[in-house]
Amino acid sequence: MSDPLDDPAALWPAQPGATPPQPEPQRWVWAAMEPPERRARLRELAVWVTWLRTTFELHNQIPHCWYRHSPVVEHLTALYAGWLRTYAGEQGAGRELAEADWINTLHNFTPRLQLAACATGRHQEPPPLVPPPPGTAEAFEVFLVTSDATTTGAQHPAAAELQRRMATFEAPL
| pLDDT at residue 15, as a whole number | 55
Distance of CA 109 to the CA centre of its chain: 10
Task: Give how far Cα 23 sits from Cα of 3, 12, 15, 20, 44, Å.
Answer: 17, 13, 17, 9, 16
| pLDDT at residue 18, as a whole number | 56
Q: State pTM to two decimals.
A: 0.66
Residue of 65, 33, 34, 36 lying closest to 49 (CA atoms):
65
- 52: Cβ contacts below 8 Å, ≥ 6 apart: 58, 62, 76, 79, 106
| pLDDT at residue 155, as a whole number | 81
Q: Report, as ranges of residue numbers, the positions in the chain whose pLDDT lies below 50.
A: 1, 25
| pLDDT at residue 41, as a whole number | 95
What is the C-alpha separation between 68 and 125, in angstroms, rounded? 8
| pLDDT at residue 34, as a whole number | 92
What is the C-alpha separation between 43 and 31, in angstroms, rounded? 16
Please report, as a single letter, which amino acid is at residue 34. E
Tens digit of pLDDT for each residue in 93-121? 667 788 999 999 999 999 999 888 888 88
